[in-house]
């Protein structure tokens, strides 16, 4: 049966019609057969699935009316990208603009000699096809965004591929920049990281726009695969246009004695949905999931998380902190799943919200699904306001109320930043948050 | 030359009058001690001078260098030169002493002027050396997990950095053992000078053997009922507060 014969009513595809999909395929270089087939299948799934509605449990509290796919278009190639540096030395830097590679710099000269690959997905499909096939979008979207994951897979143009071979440690971070430029631009950024046995790597994924008034759509994903004893540190900085609709899906797979630490910094977009899956697949696997959000004006940040313990003696630790200003909204929904044989699981989940405005709204839905009997799992959510005595203390030192509240908010975030073992990364992120908090785009 | 003038001050918490017509003048270079039994309004006085929002001034005035501060927010008063050393300093998790003081120094600069970080640290370390405070202190979160003595030393360090014209010290000796009391007192004494006026609030005379006041006032039932020099403190130490209460009771209403 072909899709044209499906008797269902036409699916809400918005601008992403079958004709748009065929035009997208025609714009790509020749693809491996398996990838072309997957893209076609993804498009069919995307077209068949309905848009989320208010009654979907996995979209509870979300502004489903904001999920429109109308009016977007594949953006034109970019001639320039915004200046983007947070002052960190890097081993390599890939810049994507409107979905296509803008520049690629290998800054640590020994990377190639040590077998580290930092390249585009388009090149990797040709040169590292087996690895890409094994790990690219290999895990199902389990948190409600099946339609958007399919859209991402169908319309994915290019992305970053990082492979660190066995035993290799990349000391400096690898920076991936993805920009959406122009009104109505739709982008589908992707970062795939594969760390083989004992490898170590830090990846910083930046998402940004040039103009906060441009209406854009960003449907991104990243896959992190930590092989036996590997260590991946992943930092995502989401700073899309404040008129953007952004949906990002993260999949982390952690193998025996491996460890992944991810910290997502949420600053941009009008409405941002972030889904994060961690699978602890073998004993000794460890996943630390961290997030900081500065929600201001009318922004909505919708975060859904899944910690899946599939093997004994695994650990996951989630700490999501949100600061809410003005009329901003946040939604946190977290689930810890412990499979029957995942004994001695150690799982934590904590969502903390700091309300800096009476009009802001924080929703929190922590959850557990435990099928093993010898586990340690805790979860909790708190919502607090600025402590007036702390505020008075700072004011009594001459610090104006607004600056005092800022300082207290940075203090609130510091617990998360302190989890990062790299001091320069910590300092760079702190500066970013301060800039965002001040609403000062010029200094960025 | 600065002055802190408290004129016939009346303060309430909700409907309850706490300070009932208190008058006092502190000039720069002077150290005044206010002593009195618990529950007499001493700490309320300290917080009202600093601008705590929970208290309502129902009468009188507080003037710094001739200008009323009562309409000012706490931060404006602090920038004008007032300092309150807290009896119970707040713990501020995640904010280092260095960043906290930096924000306080930054707040005193003209709009648009950025703090000179090198000069700031140089001055901070000089003050820490003066007060014999370990430099590692600056990276700790403000007061978090501090001992009583560390909290009070942190208050003195802030006072040293912010160089107020007038400092109100609320029960600075509370919670301190004798060694901590000596160290904190040395700090205050190091900052004493012609540019600083000090109003020390204390329940016990023992602080005053370390920080010798120029004037001693006895506060009772929201008012100053007796003033004198340091010998008054010694008299209170040996005779207790009951003697003052009896004297008051003997006065015609």
Are A396 and B94 an interchain contact pair (Cβ–Cβ within 8 Å)?
A: no
Beta bridge partners of A261: A233, A288
Taking CB atoms and an 8 Å cutoff, what residues of chain A touch B98?
none
Taking CB atoms and an 8 Å cutoff, what residues of chain A touch B100?
394, 397, 407
Taking CB atoms and an 8 Å cutoff, what residues of chain A touch B83?
396
Candidates A390, A400, A407; nearest CB to B75:
A400
Tell me how many domains chain B contains. Answer: 1
Taking CB atoms and an 8 Å cutoff, what residues of chain B touch A418?
94
User: pLDDT-derived band of residue A76, with 50, 70 and 90 as boundaries?
Assistant: confident
Give pLDDT tens digits for B226-243: 999 999 988 888 888 888
Kindly report the nearest CA distance between residue A404 and chain B, in angstroms: 9
Q: Chain A to chain B, count of Cβ pairs less than 8 Å apart?
A: 83
Candidates A396, A400, A411; nearest CB to B50:
A396
For residue A401, the surrounding DSSP H or E stretch is helix A401-417
Give the Cα separation of B234 and B172 in Å (integer).
19
Residue B76 has pLDDT above 50, yes or no: yes
**ipTM, interface predicted TM-score of the complex:** 0.96
Kindly report the nearest CA distance between residue B72 and chain A, in angstroms: 11
Are B90 and A393 an interchain contact pair (Cβ–Cβ within 8 Å)?
A: yes
Residue A436 has pLDDT above 80, yes or no: no
What integer is the mean pLDDT of A171-187? 96
Structural domain boundaries enclosing B191:
3-250
Q: Mutate which of B85, B95, B114 to disrupt the A interface (most A C-beta within 10 Å)?
A: B95
What integer is the mean pLDDT of A200-207? 97
Q: What DSSP character marks residue A59?
A: G
What integer is the mean pLDDT of B209-230? 94
User: pLDDT-derived band of residue A432, with 50, 70 and 90 as boundaries?
Assistant: confident
Candidates B51, B93, B103; nearest CB to A399:
B103
Are A387 and B141 an interchain contact pair (Cβ–Cβ within 8 Å)?
A: no
Pairing of strands B67-68, B56-64: antiparallel
For residue A27, the surrounding DSSP H or E stretch is helix A18-27
Q: Mutate which of B69, B79, B94 to disrupt the A interface (most A C-beta within 10 Å)?
A: B94
| Residue partners of B130: CB distance under 8 A and separation at least 6 | B160, B190
Q: Please tell me the least confidently modeled range out of A82-91, A248-257, A280-289, B27-36.
A: A82-91
Give pLDDT tens digits for B174-189: 888 888 899 889 989 9
Residue B53 belongs to a domain with what CATH number?
A: 3.40.50.300
Per-residue pLDDT, A11: 60
Whether A264 contacts A274, CB under 8 Å: yes
Per-residue pLDDT, A86: 66
Kindly report the nearest CA distance between residue A384 and chain B, in angstroms: 14
Kindly report the nearest CA distance between residue A400 and chain B, in angstroms: 6
Kindly report the nearest CA distance between residue A145 and chain B, in angstroms: 35
Give the Cα separation of B102 and B139 in Å (integer).
12
Taking CB atoms and an 8 Å cutoff, what residues of chain B touch A393?
86, 89-90, 92
User: pLDDT-derived band of residue A266, with 50, 70 and 90 as boundaries?
Assistant: very high
Residue A1 has pLDDT above 70, yes or no: no
Residue of B nearest to A392 (CA): B52
State what percent of residues in chain A have pLDDT above 70. Answer: 95
Which token pair is A334? 């977290």
Residue B61 has pLDDT above 60, yes or no: yes
Kindly report the nearest CA distance between residue B162 and chain A, in angstroms: 8
What integer is the mean pLDDT of A231-254? 97
Per-residue pLDDT, A442: 36
What integer is the mean pLDDT of A7-21? 80
Candidates B79, B92, B158; nearest CB to A390:
B92
Are B51 and A396 an interchain contact pair (Cβ–Cβ within 8 Å)?
A: yes
What integer is the mean pLDDT of B145-170? 95
Taking CB atoms and an 8 Å cutoff, what residues of chain B touch A431?
none
Candidates A393, A410, A412; nearest CB to B86:
A393
Residue A101 has pLDDT above 80, yes or no: yes
Give pLDDT tens digits for B88-130: 999 999 999 999 999 999 999 998 899 999 999 999 999 999 8
Residue A170 has pLDDT above 80, yes or no: yes
Give pLDDT tens digits for A334-390: 999 999 999 999 999 999 999 999 999 999 999 999 999 999 999 999 999 999 999
Q: Mutate which of A321, A384, A399 to disrupt the B interface (most B C-beta within 10 Å)?
A: A399
Candidates A388, A392, A397; nearest CB to B158:
A397
Average pLDDT, chain A: 93
Residue of B nearest to A418 (CA): B94
Q: Please tell me the least confidently modeled range out of A39-48, A98-107, A351-360, B181-190.
A: B181-190
Residue A421 has pLDDT above 50, yes or no: yes
Per-residue pLDDT, A443: 34
Residue of B nearest to A411 (CA): B94
Are B141 and A411 an interchain contact pair (Cβ–Cβ within 8 Å)?
A: yes
What integer is the mean pLDDT of A92-113? 94
Give pLDDT tens digits for A208-221: 999 999 999 999 99
Per-residue pLDDT, A2: 45
């Amino acid at each position: 049966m072909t899709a044209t014969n499906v008797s269902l009513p036409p699916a809400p595809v918005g601008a992403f019609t079958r004709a748009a999909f065929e035009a997208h395929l025609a714009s790509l270089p020749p693809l491996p057969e398996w990838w072309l087939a997957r893209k076609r299948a993804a498009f069919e799934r995307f077209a068949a699935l309905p848009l989320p509605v208010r009654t979907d449990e996995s979209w509870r509290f979300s502004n489903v009316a904001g999920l429109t796919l109308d009016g977007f278009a594949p953006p034109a190639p970019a001639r320039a990208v915004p200046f983007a540096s947070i002052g960190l030395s890097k081993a390599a830097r890939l810049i994507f603009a409107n979905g296509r590679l803008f520049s690629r710099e290998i800054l640590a000269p020994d990377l190639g000699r040590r077998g580290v690959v930092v390249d585009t997905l388009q090149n990797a499909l040709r040169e590292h096809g087996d690895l890409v096939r094994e790990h690219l979008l290999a895990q199902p979207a389990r948190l409600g965004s099946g339609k958007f994951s399919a859209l991402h897979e169908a319309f994915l143009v290019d992305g970053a591929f990082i492979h660190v071979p066995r035993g290799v440690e990349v000391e400096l971070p690898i920076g991936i920049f993805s920009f959406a430029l122009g009104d109505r631009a739709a982008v589908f950024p992707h970062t795939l990281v594969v760390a083989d046995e004992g490898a170590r790597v830090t990846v910083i994924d930046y998402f940004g726009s040039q103009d906060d008034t441009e209406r854009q759509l960003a449907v991104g994903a990243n896959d992190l695969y930590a092989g036996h004893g590997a260590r991946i540190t992943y930092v995502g900085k989401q700073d899309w246009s404040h008129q953007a609709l952004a949906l990002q899906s993260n999949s982390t797979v952690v193998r025996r004695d491996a460890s992944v630490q991810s910290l997502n910094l949420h600053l941009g977009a009008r409405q941002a949905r972030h889904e994060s899956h961690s699978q602890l697949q073998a004993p000794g696997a460890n996943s630390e999931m961290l997030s900081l959000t500065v929600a201001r004006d009318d922004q909505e940040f919708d975060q859904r998380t899944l910690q899946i313990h599939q093997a004994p003696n695994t650990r996951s630790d989630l700490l999501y902190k949100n600061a809410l200003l003005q009329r901003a909204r946040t939604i946190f929904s977290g689930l810890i799943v412990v499979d029957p044989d995942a004994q001695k699981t150690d799982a934590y989940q904590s969502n903390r919200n700091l309300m800096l405005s009476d009009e802001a709204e924080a929703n929190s839905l922590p959850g557990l699904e435990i099928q093993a009997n010898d586990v340690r799992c805790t979860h909790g959510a708190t919502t607090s306001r600025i402590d007036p005595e702390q505020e008075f203390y700072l004011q009594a030192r001459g610090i104006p109320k607004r600056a005092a509240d800022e300082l207290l908010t940075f203090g609130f975030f510091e617990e998360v930043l302190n989890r990062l073992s790299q001091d320069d990364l910590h300092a760079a992120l702190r500066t970013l948050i301060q800039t965002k908090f001040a609403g000062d785009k010029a200094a960025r | 030359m600065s002055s802190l003038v408290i004129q016939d001050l009346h303060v309430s918490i909700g409907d309850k009058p706490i300070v009932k017509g208190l008058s006092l003048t502190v000039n720069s270079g002077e150290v005044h001690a206010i002593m009195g039994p618990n529950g007499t309004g001493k700490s309320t006085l300290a917080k009202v001078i600093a601008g705590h929002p929970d208290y309502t001034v129902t009468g009188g005035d507080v003037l710094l260098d001739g200008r009323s501060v009562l309409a000012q927010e706490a931060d404006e008063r602090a920038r004008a030169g007032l300092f309150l050393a807290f009896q119970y300093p707040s713990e501020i998790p995640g904010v280092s002493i260095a960043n906290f003081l930096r924000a306080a120094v930054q707040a005193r600069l003209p709009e648009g002027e950025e703090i000179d970080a090198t000069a700031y640290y140089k001055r901070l370390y000089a003050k820490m050396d003066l007060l014999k405070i370990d430099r590692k202190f600056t990276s700790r979160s403000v007061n978090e997990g501090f001992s009583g003595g560390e909290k009070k030393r942190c208050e003195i360090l802030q006072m040293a950095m912010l160089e107020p014209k007038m400092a109100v010290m609320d029960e600075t000796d509370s919670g301190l053992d004798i060694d901590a009391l000596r160290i904190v007192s040395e700090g205050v004494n190091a900052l004493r000078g012609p540019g600083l006026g000090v109003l020390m609030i204390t329940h016990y005379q023992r602080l005053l053997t370390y920080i010798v006041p120029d004037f001693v006032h006895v506060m009772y039932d929201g008012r100053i009922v007796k003033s004198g020099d340091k010998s008054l403190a010694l008299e209170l130490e040996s005779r207790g507060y009951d003697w003052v209460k009896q004297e008051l009771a003997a006065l015609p209403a």
